[in-house]
Structure 1
Amino acid sequence: MNKLFNTKNIIKLLAILFITITVVSCQRDGSAEEDDLPQEELTNIVLLVTEEGTTSTLTYDYSIGAGGIPTIPLKDGKSYTVVAKFRNGNEDATQEIIDAKNEHFLIFDFPKSNITVTRLDGNDLRNDGKRVGLRTKWDVVKAVDSPSPLLKLTLIHAPESVNDTKSGTAWGSVVGGETDAEATYNLTN
């Protein structure tokens, strides 16, 4: 019995427990392979915004963790096609999201604006018939409906279920899942 509880065995047991806890806590669902787009790999969320009727596309780059919030000018009564791109440094990570489209979903929250979001046809159709939201149309009723309007864009990983209709001020909602990336953009007229 003394051999079982000696100092060496206790230290070995504690070391094994520490390593086990560390490995498990650093993985989302028990396996690093399950997460096709680790949160730590996304550095930028880029929105490509094109006003309908024009050919000019403006780029708004949100750098994750770097501070600074891009401002997107929107005109009341106008419509815009918006394409979301995700980057890891200089590499485009958007294709990884498309490849794992059943594991991702975008939520567009406009808490101080009146904007309708329609998810457009593309290669991001999930098995449940919903679109991830990588390409959308924004119909702007009122870009500045309250002081300091903004867009909070959230990429959700592994939601149990998704809904692409409006929920409060957000277009899209989920049950379960975790945030893969989040960006904030100021809005102005």
Structure 2
Amino acid sequence: MTQQWRDPNARRPVDINAYAPPRRSGATLWLLLVGAVAVGVVLAALLWRPAPPEAAPTASPTAQASSNLPGMPFTMPASPDDQGRWEVLGHTWTGNAVDIRVRVTCDAGSISYGFVAFSNAGTDVYEPAAGAPDPEIGSGSLAAGGSVEGNIRILLPRGDATLILTTSGGQQISALPVPG
């Protein structure tokens, strides 16, 4: 018995259609169509926006009046209804002392005030000292509509400094620069 040699590829018929890509079903076409519509809706939503309704102007004389008033506004730490403004009107250096002219105004409620300062070159806190030009002010309190203007003397090394407005009890409220 002799065996005959056979070609292993001879058993399979060769057909070019066996190498063709699979046919697309109708579902793929529908998915592409739905995707194109979704992209169109998103683009339309991004590009077309209705104009927002115009708000009717309202008068706020309090806001306009307070924005025109001089000074840095502040609110008392324990009571947001107690509000005022303060400003540094001027300063004069004499050696290691600065005389600072300030104005404090109470706009609503009641406020208490005091002052400390520090040199921008260090961390030491300096209390007001006696001897400021008249009128000399220290700490005090004001009712709505009240205002006080006067001078504070602080002994600190000459240079840029920061004046801090405090409550009469020493709690910090606000700060303003004093050039050296």
- The interval holding the TM-score normalised by the smaller chain is 0.3 to 0.5
Which structure ranks higher in relative contact order (CA pairs < 8 Å, sequence separation ≥ 6)?
A: 1
Q: TM-score, normalised by structure 1?
A: 0.32
Which structure has the greater CA radius of gyration?
2
Q: TM-score, normalised by structure 2?
A: 0.33
